[in-house]
């Protein structure tokens, strides 16, 4: 049985991906900061084997300790889904909050690096593995007031390409899925709990659901070993670009 480690598994795309990979026959290492949400998910996935790790990917030492604590039957990670990330604030650069900048760069970029570094030794030793980074259309095109978030996702895009080159000699597949507008907790976090403002983001059109992105990830990681679906841009039909959404 193959093992998949999913960061940010407590909600949204991470949670939906856990469901479809359990259905596909994977055993799962589910990570996140909200233990109770992970426990609820593990119960839902039963009887699929799961192991829970509670840590913040922004904390390098905690990340290394958590992944280093995996029991023997979960240590050899076949698939890593780097999904954990965040968006904080939506403001022009001159009005941005440095604390928001730190949260986005630490979570979206450094957190991805910390987790990948901790998981890679078992992949490189076996000369096999599959890494899927969850990026965003924001990493492909900047939009007004999205400055640092867009920059963090552009970094994910560049890191994915660099990782694919670096890990090519080890036979490790590296890929990226870049969703457009997905209705998850994303906007609620960005607007710091302002549910009304978050809801308005998705009004007037049908956005992607977390399950739509999860289905694509499942397809990517179940291809034959000689196939790497290296990059996917996934948009709702109503979206033509980062800020081009047909409403009404």
Provide CATH code, domain 3-245: 3.40.50.720
Rounded to whole angstroms, how far apart are CA atoms 188 and 191? 5
Best CA proximity match to 239, nearest among 179, 181, 176: 181
Q: What is the pTM of this model?
A: 0.95
Q: Quick one: pLDDT at residue 191?
A: 64
pLDDT at residue 200, as a whole number: 80
Is residue 106 over pLDDT 70?
Answer: yes
Domain-wise residue ranges, the chain: 3-245
Residue 48: CB atoms within 10 Å? 18
The DSSP bridge partners found for residue 179 are 234
pLDDT of residue 190: 66
Q: Which of 93, 7, 83, 32 is nearest to 101 (CA)?
A: 93
Q: How confident is the model at residue 189 (pLDDT cuts 50, 70, 90)?
A: low
Active-site residue list = 149
The torsion angles phi and psi of 143, rounded to 5 degrees, stand at -135, 160
Q: For residue 113, give both structure tokens.
A: 């690096």
pLDDT, position 199: 76
104 vs 208: CA distance, rounded Å: 22
Task: Tell me the average pLDDT across 26-38.
Answer: 97
Residue 70 confidence (pLDDT): 98
Compute the average pLDDT of residues 107-124. 98
What rounded mean pLDDT belongs to the chain? Answer: 95
């Amino acid at each position: 049985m193959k093992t998949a480690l999913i960061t940010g598994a407590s909600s949204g795309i991470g949670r939906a991906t856990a469901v479809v990979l359990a259905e596909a026959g994977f055993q799962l290492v589910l990570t996140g900061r909200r233990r109770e949400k992970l426990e609820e998910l593990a119960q839902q996935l039963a009887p699929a084997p799961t192991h829970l790790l509670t840590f913040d990917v922004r904390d390098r030492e905690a990340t290394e300790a958590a992944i280093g604590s995996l029991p023997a039957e979960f240590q050899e990670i076949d698939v890593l889904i780097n999904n954990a990330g965040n968006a904080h604030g939506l403001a022009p650069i001159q009005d941005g909050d440095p604390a928001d900048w730190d949260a986005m760069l630490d979570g979206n970029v450094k957190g991805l690096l910390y987790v990948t570094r901790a998981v890679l030794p078992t992949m490189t030793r076996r000369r096999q593995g599959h890494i899927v980074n969850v990026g965003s259309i924001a990493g492909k095109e900047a939009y007004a007031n999205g400055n640092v978030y867009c920059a963090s996702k552009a970094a994910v895009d560049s890191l994915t390409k660099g990782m694919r080159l670096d890990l090519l000699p080890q036979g490790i597949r590296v890929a990226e899925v870049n969703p457009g507008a997905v209705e998850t907790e994303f906007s609620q976090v960005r607007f710091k709990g302002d549910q009304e403002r978050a809801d308005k983001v998705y009004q007037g059109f049908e956005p992607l659901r977390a399950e739509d992105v999860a289905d694509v990830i499942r397809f990517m990681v179940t291809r034959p070993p000689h196939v790497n679906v290296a990059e996917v841009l996934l948009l709702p039909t109503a979206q033509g670009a980062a800020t081009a959404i047909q409403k009404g």
